């Protein structure tokens, strides 16, 4: 349930990141923000999400209930953000704020994400080798996200940002088929 208001989310995330960085609590704030967004948007938590997003519930009541329930579990910056979102009626931006916070943290920590799809799980040596190659090529720390999809038959598809490297057997076979059909005509 992504909210289209990414600009607002980015502004909130940047402000939260700057506060967390000043306090030396970026990791804690990140974890709390992800947990809070997960609580609201996780499957099975529809009642919580409905309460959190409902414009029919008085903001003071909503803040009182959520603030009291979460005060002992959230740091001051995240609790403050939650209060602002409730009183401004921008609760729906929470998941986008968490996403933008992740991007600010990745940028500050010189990190990129590599999404790798393979036919069967990679062993540790292959995963480490691929990570090292991507880090050498990008000059950044790589966080690997592996997905297994047997339909690719073999090889791998790697997406880093907007760049995709598709070395799957399925793609190679499709290209060979196209080539054979072209030469047969």
Q: Which two tokens stand for residue 156?
A: 């791998």
Per-residue model confidence (pLDDT) at position 114: 95
Contacts of 59 (CB under 8 A, 6+ apart): 86, 87, 89
Give residue 3's pLDDT. 43
Q: What is the pLDDT of residue 105?
A: 95
98, two tokens: 């968490």
Q: List the alpha helices (DSSP H) in the chain.
A: 6-23, 26-41, 46-53, 59-70, 76-88, 94-108, 124-138, 169-184
Would you state the structure tokens that stand for residue 48, as one six-digit string? 């919580």
- Residue 2 pLDDT: 46
Residue with the two structure tokens 């009642």: 47
Q: Record the pTM.
A: 0.77
Amino acid 5: pLDDT: 62
Domain ranges for the chain: 6-107, 110-184
Q: What is the DSSP letter of 139?
A: S
For 110-184, CATH number out of 3.90.930, 3.30.160, 3.40.30, 1.10.287 equals 3.40.30
Task: Of 70, 76, 164, give the one whose Cα is nearest residue 115.
Answer: 164
Decide: 17 and 101 in contact? Cβ < 8 Å.
yes
Q: How far apart are CA 86 and CA 88, in angstroms?
A: 6
Pick one of 3.90.850.10, 3.20.20.300, 3.30.70.1280, 1.10.520.20 as the CATH number of 6-107. Answer: 1.10.520.20
Q: Residue 183 has what pLDDT?
A: 86
Sequential pLDDT tens for the chain (185 residues): 444 568 899 999 999 999 999 999 999 999 999 999 888 787 877 888 889 889 999 999 999 999 999 999 999 999 999 999 999 999 999 999 999 999 999 999 999 999 999 999 999 999 999 999 999 999 999 999 999 999 988 888 999 988 998 888 888 888 888 888 888 77
Name residue 117's beta-bridge partners: 147, 157
Return the number of other C-beta atoms located less than 10 Å from residue 3's C-beta: 15
- Asked, colleague to colleague, whether 6-107 and 110-184 share their fold, the answer is no
One DSSP character per residue, 73-106 reads: TS-HHHHHHHHHHHHHT-GGGHHHHHHHHHHHHH
| Alpha-carbon 20 to chain mean position | 19
Question: CA–CA separation, 38 vs 18, rounded Å?
Answer: 22
């Amino acid at each position: 349930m992504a909210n289209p208001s990414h600009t607002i989310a980015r502004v909130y995330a940047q402000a939260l990141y700057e506060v967390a960085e000043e306090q030396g609590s970026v990791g804690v704030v990140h974890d709390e923000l992800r947990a809070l967004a997960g609580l609201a948007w996780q499957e099975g938590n529809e009642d919580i999400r409905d309460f959190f997003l409902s414009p029919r519930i008085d903001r003071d009541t909503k803040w009182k209930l959520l603030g009291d329930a979460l005060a002992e579990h959230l740091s001051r910056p995240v609790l403050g953000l939650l209060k602002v979102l409730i009183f401004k009626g921008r609760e729906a931006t929470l998941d986008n704020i968490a996403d933008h916070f992740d991007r600010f943290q990745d940028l500050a920590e010189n990190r990129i994400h590599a999404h790798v799809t393979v036919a069967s799980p990679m062993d540790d040596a292959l995963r480490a080798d691929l990570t090292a190659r991507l880090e050498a090529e990008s000059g950044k720390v790589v966080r690997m996200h592996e997905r297994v999809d047997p339909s690719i038959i073999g090889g791998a598809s790697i997406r880093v940002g907007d760049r995709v490297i598709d070395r799957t057997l399925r793609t190679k076979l499709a290209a060979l088929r196209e080539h054979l059909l072209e030469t047969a005509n």
